[in-house]
């Protein structure tokens, strides 16, 4: 079972190889298992929820455990930027600094919060 957002959203998925895919929802029921949530693991994803205030933006750092949680955020944010440090190397401040981020959320399983993960996140926001 999956929680289906009550508000319409659109999603742009940015893959590490440079390709970009646009979808009309953040849950893709045609894809099996946890990959249905935000199209699985990818470099980063930008979700827009036109019905919500556009001045409220969350930046989410996650591993695969965070995929299923992101759709819950569509009830509260106009924009959600989802970054998976395993699949992209970027400067988050440079890349998203002009997007008026109001909240930063970390969605990881506890065993992934090791020194190597911390270093990846720190590198993105330093």
Per-residue pLDDT tens digits of the chain, which is 126 residues long? 777 899 999 999 998 788 999 999 999 988 888 889 999 999 899 999 999 999 999 999 998 889 999 999 999 999 999 998 888 878 887 888 888 899 999 888 777 666 666 667 667 766
The tally of CA atoms less than 13 A away on the side-chain side of residue 69 is 14
C-beta separation of 83 from 125 below 8 A = no
Q: What is the pTM of this model?
A: 0.87
Instruction: Tell me how far apart the alpha carbons of residues 22 and 120 are, in angstroms, rounded to a whole number.
Output: 27
C-beta separation of 47 from 9 below 8 A = yes
Instruction: Tell me how far apart the alpha carbons of residues 82 and 52 are, in angstroms, rounded to a whole number.
Output: 17
What was the pLDDT predicted at 122? Answer: 65
What was the pLDDT predicted at 25? Answer: 94
């Amino acid at each position: 079972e999956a929680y289906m957002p009550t508000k319409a959203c659109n999603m742009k998925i940015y893959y590490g190889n440079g390709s970009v895919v646009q979808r009309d929802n953040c849950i893709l029921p045609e894809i099996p298992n946890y990959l249905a949530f935000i199209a699985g693991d990818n470099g980063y994803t930008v979700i827009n929820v036109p019905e919500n205030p556009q001045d409220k933006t969350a930046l989410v750092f996650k591993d695969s455990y965070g995929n299923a949680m992101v759709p819950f955020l569509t009830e509260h944010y106009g924009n959600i930027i989802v970054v998976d440090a395993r699949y992209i190397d970027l400067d988050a401040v440079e890349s998203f600094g002009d997007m008026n981020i109001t909240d930063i959320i970390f969605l990881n399983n506890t065993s992934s919060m090791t020194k190597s993960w911390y270093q990846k996140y720190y590198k993105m926001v330093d």
